[in-house]
């Protein structure tokens, strides 16, 4: 199975690197500058789960190539439309798109661009970033992808994908309830990203200062919006997320917080803005979510990254 990884940043570089490490047929679709960097220095991953250094196969959007069997769609949400255009030449009748973006707003966009039958559900949990040398830094124990067919279907293609993704030094987990998994991740990351960016702090100091009740309140508020939208949530998901967050390392940061620290664009519109539009549709009051979103909007204005 030929696998195309969209991007070689923190997410694509890590999971694509793990697949290439085990010998899978992996190619990275990257910008020209990143291609030159990878061709010169190789793909370097510094990880608590074991380092990687290899010479990856790379292409750019203008390079001629045939269709791939599986695409790991690992771009940021604010690059979604450009990434779709870059990917179009490499998608054929049998190509399967596995998106690893946060949230849900991208799913119908990808389905419209490539066809609903070509898009499966996916998400990932990992804390990574790129350093100045373009190395992927992976600093926490979590590093896994969850994927599955929408509608809880068991298909030949999902079994084939499960087989090709197995046997790596990370975890690719097939799910029979991927819709629920995606919404659970959305609740988790919208809360964690919202709280850490609002307070400009890793999770440890927030928790230590008595902020756990504030975190729970944000979780509850976002949960209420999702339930009004009809999202399939575990009735005990807030308690489960609180338990997970309480066990995080003291210096754990959200990727959105790391992007803010670097002056990069953030996914506030894709994550929190989308939830606020749902809340408005249901005439719901969401003061915590509005505060989080306003903070991100101010960041966008002051940095020119709106």
Average pLDDT over residues 105-123: 97
Q: Which domain holds residue 13?
A: 2-176
Helix boundaries (H) for the chain: 10-21, 32-41, 80-87, 106-114, 156-165, 178-199, 203-206, 212-229, 237-246, 255-261, 268, 274-281, 287-303
Based on C-alpha coordinates, what's the Rg of the chain? Answer: 19
Residues 17 and 164 in one domain: yes
Residues 202 and 88 in one domain: no
Residues 170 and 206 in one domain: no
What CATH code is carried by the domain that includes residue 39? 3.40.50.720
**CA atoms of 210 and 101, how far apart (whole Å):** 31
Residues 10 and 57 in one domain: yes
Residues 226 and 106 in one domain: no
Residues 194 and 209 in one domain: yes
Boundary-marking domain end, from 129, 145, 176: 176
Residues 113 and 217 in one domain: no
Residues 252 and 155 in one domain: no
- Mean pLDDT, all residues of the chain: 95
pLDDT band at 138 (very low <50, low <70, confident <90, very high): very high
pLDDT band at 28 (very low <50, low <70, confident <90, very high): very high
Residues 142 and 289 in one domain: no
Does 22 participate in catalysis according to the annotation? no
Question: Tell me, what's the pLDDT at 139?
Answer: 85
Residues 166 and 60 in one domain: yes
What CATH code is carried by the domain that includes residue 268? 1.10.1040.10
Average pLDDT over residues 97-117: 97
- Nearest CA among 88, 123, 125 for reference residue 106: 123
Residues 282 and 221 in one domain: yes
Residue 305 has pLDDT above 80, yes or no: no
228-273: pLDDT as tens digits = 999 999 999 999 999 999 999 899 999 899 899 989 999 999 999 9
**CA atoms of 122 and 145, how far apart (whole Å):** 7
pLDDT band at 129 (very low <50, low <70, confident <90, very high): confident
Catalytic residue (choose from 185, 253, 262, 290)? 185
Backbone phi and psi for residue 236, each to the nearest 5 degrees, phi listed first = -105, 20
Boundary-marking domain end, from 140, 158, 176: 176
Residue 306 has pLDDT above 80, yes or no: no
Helix (H, G, I), strand (E, B) or coil at 139: strand
167-201: pLDDT as tens digits = 999 999 999 999 999 999 999 999 999 999 999 99
Question: Tell me, what's the pLDDT at 141?
Answer: 85
Residues 247 and 152 in one domain: no
- The number of folded domains in the chain is 2
Boundary-marking domain end, from 161, 176, 191: 176
Question: Tell me, what's the pLDDT at 47?
Answer: 94
């Amino acid at each position: 199975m030929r696998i195309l990884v969209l991007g070689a940043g923190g997410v694509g570089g890590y999971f694509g690197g793990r697949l290439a490490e085990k010998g899978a047929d992996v190619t990275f679709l990257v910008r020209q500058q990143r291609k030159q960097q990878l061709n010169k220095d190789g793909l370097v991953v510094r990880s608590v789960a074991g380092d990687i250094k290899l010479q990856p196969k790379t292409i750019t959007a203008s390079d001629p190539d045939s269709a791939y069997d599986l695409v790991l769609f690992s771009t940021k949400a604010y690059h979604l439309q450009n990434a779709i255009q870059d990917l179009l030449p490499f998608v054929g009748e049998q190509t399967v798109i596995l998106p690893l973006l946060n949230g849900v707003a991208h799913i119908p966009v990808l389905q419209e661009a490539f066809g609903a039958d070509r898009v499966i559900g996916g998400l990932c949990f990992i804390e990574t970033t790129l350093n100045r040398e373009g190395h992927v830094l992976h600093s926490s124990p979590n590093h896994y992808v969850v994927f599955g067919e929408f509608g809880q279907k068991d298909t030949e293609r999902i079994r084939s994908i499960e087989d090709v993704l197995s046997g790596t030094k990370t975890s690719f987990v097939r799910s029979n309830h991927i819709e629920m998994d995606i919404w659970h991740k959305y609740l988790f990351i919208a809360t964690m990203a919202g709280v850490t960016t609002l307070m400009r702090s890793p999770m440890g100091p927030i928790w230590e200062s008595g902020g756990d009740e504030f975190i729970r309140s944000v979780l509850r508020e976002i949960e209420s919006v999702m339930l009004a939208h009809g999202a399939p949530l575990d009735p005990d998901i807030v308690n489960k997320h609180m338990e997970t967050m309480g066990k995080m390392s003291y210096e754990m940061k959200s990727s959105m917080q790391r992007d803010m620290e670097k002056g990069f664009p953030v996914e506030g519109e894709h994550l929190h803005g989308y939830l606020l539009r749902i809340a408005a549709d249901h005439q719901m009051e969401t003061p915590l979510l509005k505060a989080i979103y306003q903070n991100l909007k101010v960041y966008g204005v002051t940095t020119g990254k709106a």
